[in-house]
Amino acid sequence: MPTKEERLFLENIQPHKGIIYKVSRMYADTAEDREDLVQEILIRLWSSYGSFEGRSALSTWMYRVAVNTAITFLRKEKGKPRIIGDDSPALLTKAFETDSREETRLALFYRAVKELNPVEKALIFYFMEGISHREISAQLGISENNARVKLNRTKEKLQRIIKTYGYEFE
């Protein structure tokens, strides 16, 4: 049974739970790892919650803790293949050809993101969240110019990866 403090904490972060799920989907390859990463992020958020002073928005703080946790996340059983089941590019591309739903495109996007390095994943995540270059630079601890250059390069790299699946993002 969660304590009163835990319940209050979970209620507060519930409206922003998408942050946790999206970061987990970007950084973990298997369903099992995703579940573990969600839990790992929640635990880090909970243990840091006392030091959150409310000087920034709750979501800004959550971005930081979630990305910091995911960047150094260790996968389970490293010997396992990274691509599994319905996440494979061939299946996703086939699904894309027959079904143009946004979810399928998003699945293809997530599949391509998995080929990026941890910093590139963070940049794309912040970009998709609509975070400004200035804010990305503050979250990652790099200069604004560096954030802009790296983000542009990462977007190009992502498009190149998607192209290898037989599809093209403009």
Total number of residues shown for the chain: 170
* CB-CB contact of 63 with 19 (8 Å): yes
22, 114, 148, 157: which one contacts other proteins (CB under 8 A)?
A: 22
Integer Cα distance of 152 and 65 in angstroms: 24
- How many CA within 13 A on the CB side of residue 94? 6
8, 57, 76, 83: which one contacts other proteins (CB under 8 A)?
A: 76
Is the alpha carbon torsion for 85, 31, 13, 49 positive or negative? Answer: negative
Other Cβ atoms within 10 Å of 121 Cβ, number? 20
The answer to the question of residue 148 lying near other proteins (CB under 8 A) is no
* CB-CB contact of 49 with 6 (8 Å): no
The answer to the question of residue 93 lying near other proteins (CB under 8 A) is no
102-121 binders of other proteins (CB under 8 A): 102-103, 105-106, 109, 117-120
29-58 binders of other proteins (CB under 8 A): 35-37, 39-40, 42-44, 46-48, 51-52
Integer Cα distance of 108 and 124 in angstroms: 14
Closest separation in Å from C-beta 170 to other proteins: 4
The answer to the question of residue 98 lying near other proteins (CB under 8 A) is no
Instruction: Please report, as ranges, the residues that interact with other proteins according to CB under 8 A.
Output: 2, 6, 10, 13-14, 17-18, 20-22, 25, 35-37, 39-40, 42-44, 46-48, 51-52, 61, 64-65, 67-69, 71-74, 76, 102-103, 105-106, 109, 117-120, 122, 127-128, 130, 138-143, 146, 155, 158, 169-170
